[in-house]
Amino acid sequence: MYLFIYVSITVNYGQLCITDIDECLTNTGGCAHICTNFDGGFNCSCSEGFKLMNDKKGCKPCPSGTWGKDCLHDCSCRDSDTECNVTTGCAECPAGFQGADCHEDIDECTDNNPCGDNANCTNTVGTFKCVCSGGFTQYNATTCHGMEQQ
């Protein structure tokens, strides 16, 4: 007696032959966005800016304040005027910050010395501070003058 199963297993003259059916070939497996086939089944996933729904097939946009693959990143933009883009995070970071979620402090002292030759630059969160070298006094936020120049 031979048993013929047409789902993903076929029996041919007493030999068991297993052939994977690519469920993604027909209507993307019912997935709203991305269907990934594997031996014996498939998985659905969503594009950037979307999250897989409870039915494991549908996708819904990231809720407000989240972004990225499966909405796993929080948008903690430090400037209330900055938009949270669901695929890239903060669309524009406020001055002194960078990165997809605007949490990465820019070290203004590394690329150039905004304080000039008579001061040392000290990075602070979101900005920098100039500290005058010995024999120099603060003229403004980024300039130090010698005692005789005042």
Domain count across the chain? 3
Is there a single domain that holds both residue 55 and residue 85? yes
Is there a single domain that holds both residue 10 and residue 40? yes
Is there a single domain that holds both residue 37 and residue 57? no
41 lies in some domain:
yes
103 lies in some domain:
no
| Residue 40's CATH number | 2.10.25
Give the residue from 98, 117, 134 where a domain finishes: 98
Whose tokens are 């499966």? That residue is 70
Q: Reduced to 3 DSSP states, what percent helix, strand and coil does the chain have, rounded to the nearest 5?
A: 10, 40, 50
* Range with lowest mean pLDDT among 10-19, 106-115, 141-150: 10-19
Interval 75-134: pLDDT, tens = 877 556 677 888 888 877 888 888 767 788 999 998 778 998 889 999 999 999 999 998
25 lies in some domain:
yes
Is there a single domain that holds both residue 52 and residue 90? yes
| Residue 51's CATH number | 2.10.50
* Range with lowest mean pLDDT among 14-23, 48-57, 66-75, 88-97: 14-23
Rounded CA-CA distance 53/59 in Å is 5
Is there a single domain that holds both residue 29 and residue 56? no
For 86, the domain range is 46-98
Q: Identify the three-state secondary structure at position 4.
A: coil
DSSP 46-75: --TTEEE-TTSS-EEEPPTTEESGGG-EE-
